[in-house]
Structure 1
């Protein structure tokens, strides 16, 4: 067990498999003790049909939590061993019902003593255990139903990588990255417009010098994301959240959210009460991000961009801070 001590709880799946193999090995020896012609993998199907009567493969699969193909394969084996048989449903000729054969009924009678002995043996193991594994597994399954292991690992990966992200203020040395990151996503979906060229070619003149801000996301000192805060004149909103872009290979790491949140905090420090942005509904992940940051759809404002088909606003005083996790 040295491997399990070293690898720890990451091996939980391996340990479950080993435990299953060990118990299956014993089960293969237990059935003959009771003169029962069964295989351990048949048990869930056999139990349902023997206790509840005729069932379709779909009904059995739903009850035991197995896939339809796996149950179908097991049923075929049991039919070949003359434990089960199948017949057309009286009310639905497209459906076959599975039932016990005469041999299956004999097994059902004979296996009751085995059930009683196995239940008592397992109960004693659980009683001797410091922690009741049956209830622990039940709880573990419930937690995985709420959120799978895959989802949980994705979250941890995103959280770990997000801690490597640095949000830094504007520096002229990042100008080329500012232009490249934005131009790349714009040309992927749309065409560069005059307003794009002005801001991307001279960010200091059109953003910084007018009271705006530009923040960069660095990953291992490489600019992988950017977002600007543009001062709005003669407008209901104080600033526009704009020019947000993330390097394609870095998407899915929460960089956009970190940039958006940082820009909102920057706007707060400048005394802003309302933020505005423009986007296009074809950019579904971006729209979801803006909603997560608290932006809501607004209408009726002039835009210099032909690609804009949605405008959104955020009242900072009402914005609820969202923890990254």
Structure 2
């Protein structure tokens, strides 16, 4: 098809939907030719009920992998066609169970020859192809159950956008970005505190001159992320990972992850054995990032920040 050659894999959903609609139309014609009063979309529910056990709508939905509302609608349509009947569950009167009606069981008896012929036709089709569609569908379903297409697209997007990111050392012309990016997130959730003003207004004095470092994430040459590595007067830790901030305009592009990795690598290069940080559990994306970087929760360290309710550390390996 010329259209799908032009669109490429971008239109996989449209192509599968078109194939599904074609097969559904042909299945309708097959049922009609065998004199079977059944719609193709009813078949999964019909097949499960044909095994003999009455089922609730919830059980049917779980077994065939459809949503509860979808199965409920199908059951209503089949009941209107006289193929199923609904009654109270003998074991639990609060539940209704669905089973084939007398008409439904009669239809079941009509399907034996159709089943055999359809199965043989599909086998003939598969024998004429280089790729086994049935097995391919199983593989796709398994892989998508492990990670959805949406998540896979997100990962590819981050990978592509990460190519536009540069992590560079702090320079005086980045001071405004360092301050404004941090002030924005702190003010959005908490209140700026004296320790914030010291570090953000005087990074040279309170961070760099003490042997610390600040890294800046440039996205298309614009400073949209920052993070500091601050020396600590603590026998347990040489440095603190602090003042990490990413502009909302750049969130989802992997800047936080790239900054975090760069700061950890810098600490390791400086010979640090452990890295410390403080945060707040309200900042779920940040906590998730720290866990991803390898940080674990610790207790018992004093903090200058009222907003801090969690301390974490990362053991650095050579």
TM-score normalised by length of structure 2: 0.94
Alignment of structure 1 residues 1-325 onto 2, 5 Å: 1-233=1-233, 235-317=235-317
Distance 1:214 1:89, change over 3 A: same
Q: Taking structure 1 as reference, are residues 36 and 302 closer, same or farther at Cα in structure 2, changes over 3 Å only?
A: closer
Query: How far, CA to CA, are the matches of 1:89 and 1:242 in structure 2?
Result: 60
Q: Distance in 2 between matches of 1:198 and 1:173?
A: 18
1:73-130 C-alpha deviation (Å, 9 max, x unpaired): 1121222122222222222222222222232222111121111111111111112211
Q: Please give the alpha-carbon distance, in whole angstroms, between the structure 2 residues aligned to 1:214 and 1:175.
A: 10
Instruction: Please give the alpha-carbon distance, in whole angstroms, between the structure 1 residues aligned to 2:128 and 2:266.
Output: 59
Structure 1 residue 148: Cα displacement: 0.8
TM-score by length of 1: 0.92
Q: Could you tell me how far apart the structure 2 residues matched to 1:299 and 1:89 are?
A: 54
The 1:226–1:118 alpha-carbon spacing in structure 2 relative to 1, beyond 3 Å, is: same
Displacement of 1:288 after TM fit? Answer: 2.2
> Mean alpha-carbon deviation: is it higher for 139-148 or for 105-114?
105-114
| CA pair 101-152 structure 1, distance change in 2 beyond 3 A | same
Pairwise CA distance, 1:317: 2.2
Give the SS at the match of 1:112: helix
Rounded Cα–Cα distance in structure 2 between residues aligned with 1:193 and 1:86? 65
Q: Which residue of the partner structure matches residue 321 of structure 1?
A: none
Distance 1:75 1:291, change over 3 A: closer
Q: CA deviation at 1:179?
A: 0.7
Q: CA deviation at 1:234?
A: 5.5
Gaps of 5+ in 2: none
Residues 234 and 38 of structure 1, relative CA distance in 2, 3 Å threshold: closer
- CA-to-aligned-CA distance 1:271-309 (integer Å, 9 cap, x gap): 323322222232222222222222223333343222223
Greater mean deviation of Cα atoms: 128-137 or 307-316: 307-316
- 1:141 shift after superposition: 0.2
* Shift in alpha-carbon separation, 1:232–1:115, aligned structure 2, 3 A: same
Partner of 1:322: none
Q: 1:253 to 1:30 in 2, by over 3 A?
A: same
Residue matched to 1:323: none
Number of corresponding residues: 318
What do the CA deviations read for 1:39-74 (whole angstroms, capped 9, x no partner)?
A: 111211222212324222222222211112111211
Report the CA distance between 1:133 and its aligned residue.
0.7
79-88 vs 256-265, greater mean Cα deviation: 79-88
* Whole-angstrom CA distance in 2 between matches of 1:269 and 1:59: 57
Deviation at 1:202, TM superposition (A): 1.3
CA distance, structure 2, for counterparts of residue 236 and residue 189 of structure 1: 30
- 2:273, 2:72 → 1: CA distance? 62
Q: CA 1:174–1:130 in structure 2 vs 1: closer, same or farther (change >3 Å)?
A: same
